[in-house]
Amino acid sequence: MNIRKAIIAYKSGSQIGKDWAERCSCELEALGVKVLMGPTGANDNPYPVFIESLHREIDFALVLGGDGATLGAARYLARLAVPILAINVGGHLGFLTHAIEDCQNTQEIWDRLLSDRFAIERRMMLEARVITVDKGLGTYICQPQEPFLCLNEICVKPASPDRMVTASLELEIDGEVVDQYHGDGLIVATPTGSTSYTVAANGPIVHPGMHAIAITPICPLSLSSRAIVIPPKLTVSIWPLSTEDLSLKLWTDGVIASSIFHGQRVDIRMSEHQAQFIVLREDYSYYQALRQKLLWTGARVRYPNQNRD
């Protein structure tokens, strides 16, 4: 990898993350790399400044934080095809990150990157557009030119500071009405996101090597409402049915992206962009990650398999 321009994003409020960022920045600059560094979090978004300052030419991104910091990087950098190295510095679960214990020798990491001794893992992303069907809303609502991207999930659900609002939504797939849902909302997830909000809502776990879309209702007021998994090239449309509720929101990876009103719909499909992650581990096991991160315990009684070599 030829690294001329790099960015480093560390978790806001994390002193260890800031210390790591400063150390890595000094080491990379000693190798002749131009580095921009900044915090990332709920109230900090360094990526627009990074992208404009480097004229959209970024060779490498180092993310020091947990899955939240990594998701934010993917949403902004996927369009530029920037490879991301994520290290769990000050984060929590870290499904998408390398363990900090495995990355103490940062000089060795730079040597591996410069000598191409790493792998690139590409993860499917989703994009969402809010479509205004009621022409009467068109003069009052400004729609963004680019779709919203996500690596984990697109979620349509209310956000209210003073009450628990029930969402009434209609699900359509490739122009065919599938069902109507009354509950807390709908999650439309990638395989990567299936181990996040989706699994918490009793949805399926989908291997990240697949391309698929998982649709999961959140606390539906019907015992027959179930999650479904569909092929990746289908278009998912979600229509709000309530004419009075103004609290419905579109969420991307847990971040509010837009309000949704009656007379609009959300179209969700697989994005042409993919998140690119640098993989340094040679013995990584997805199933081991599931056991460790989700605390799977298996059967109460374990039996030896005498036929296994």
Nearest to 252 by CA among 193, 205, 180: 193
Q: Are residues 112 and 156 in the same domain?
A: no
Q: Are residues 51 and 86 in the same domain?
A: yes
Query: Are residue 86 and residue 183 in the same domain, yes or no?
Result: no
Residue 107 in this model has a pLDDT that exceeds 80: yes
Same-domain pairing of 75 and 142: no
Q: Which domain holds residue 210?
A: 125-272
Helices 15-30 and 106-114 pack at an angle, to 10 degrees, of 50
pLDDT (0 to 100) of residue 46: 96
| Predicted pLDDT of residue 160 | 87
Whether 161 and 262 share a structural domain: yes
What pLDDT shows up at residue 207?
96
pLDDT of 138 strictly over 70: no
Q: Is residue 253 among the annotated active site residues?
A: no
Q: CA 175, CA 31: separation in Å to the nearest integer?
A: 54
pTM score above 0.95 = no
> C-alpha distances in angstroms, 295 versus 99, 204, 287?
17, 17, 12
> pLDDT of 245-269, one tens digit each?
789 999 999 999 999 999 999 999 9
Task: Specify the pLDDT at position 298.
Answer: 80
The answer as to whether 298 is a domain residue is no
pLDDT of residue 244: 80
The residue from 44, 67, 102, 283 that is catalytic is 67
Percent of the chain whose predicted confidence (pLDDT) is above 90: 81
- Has residue 108 been placed in a domain? yes
Residues 183 and 264 in one domain: yes
Region 199-223: mean pLDDT is 96
What is the tens place of the pLDDT at every residue in 47-92? Answer: 999 999 999 999 999 999 999 999 999 999 999 999 999 999 988 8
Q: What is the CATH number of the domain that holds 86?
A: 3.40.50.10330
Residue 214 token pair: 């998982």
pLDDT at residue 303 in the model: 87
Same domain (yes/no): 76, 152: no
Query: What does the pLDDT look like over 13-34, one tens digit per residue?
Result: 999 999 999 999 999 999 999 9
User: What does the pLDDT read at residue 99?
Assistant: 93
* Same domain assignment for residues 129 and 114: no
Looking at the fold, whether 288 and 267 belong to one and the same domain comes out as no
- Residue 306 included in any domain: no
pLDDT of residue 204: 97
Predicted confidence band of residue 243 (pLDDT cuts 50, 70, 90):
confident
Cα–Cα distances in angstroms (integers) from residue 125 to residues 149, 151, 283, in the given order: 7, 5, 25
pLDDT of residue 139: 56
Secondary structure (DSSP) of the chain: ---SEEEEEEETT-HHHHHHHHHHHHHHHHTT-EEEEEEEBTTB--HHHHHHHTTT--SEEEEES-HHHHHHHHHHHGGGT-EEEEEESS-SS-TTSEEGGGG--HHHHHHHHHTT-SEEEEEEEEEEEEEE-SGGGTTT-PPPSSPEEESSEEEEEE--SSS-PPEEEEEEETTEEEEEEEESEEEEE-TGGGGTHHHHTT-----TTS--EEEEEES-S-TT---EEE-TTSPEEEEE--SS---EEEEETTEEEEE--BTEEEEEEEEEEEEEEEE--SS--HHHHHHHHTT----SS----TT--
Question: Is the per-residue pLDDT at 140 higher than 60?
Answer: no
130 and 113 co-located in one domain = no
The rounded mean pLDDT for the chain is 93
Residues 183 and 57 in one domain: no
pLDDT of 143: 64
- Number of structural domains the chain divides into: 2
Tell me the pLDDT band of 129, cut-offs 50, 70 and 90. very high
Residue 307 in any domain: the answer is no
Q: In the prediction, which pLDDT does 142 show?
A: 64
Nearest to 20 by CA among 63, 82, 58, 74: 63
pLDDT at 141 exceeding the cut of 80: no
As to burial, measured by CB atoms within 10 angstroms (0-12 exposed, 13-18 middle, 19+ buried), residue 144 is: exposed
Question: Is a pLDDT exceeding 80 seen at residue 178?
Answer: yes
pLDDT band at 126 (very low <50, low <70, confident <90, very high): very high
Residues 11 and 108 in one domain: yes
pLDDT at 8: 98
Closest of 96, 44, 37 to residue 70, by C-alpha? 96
Residue 48 lies in a domain: yes
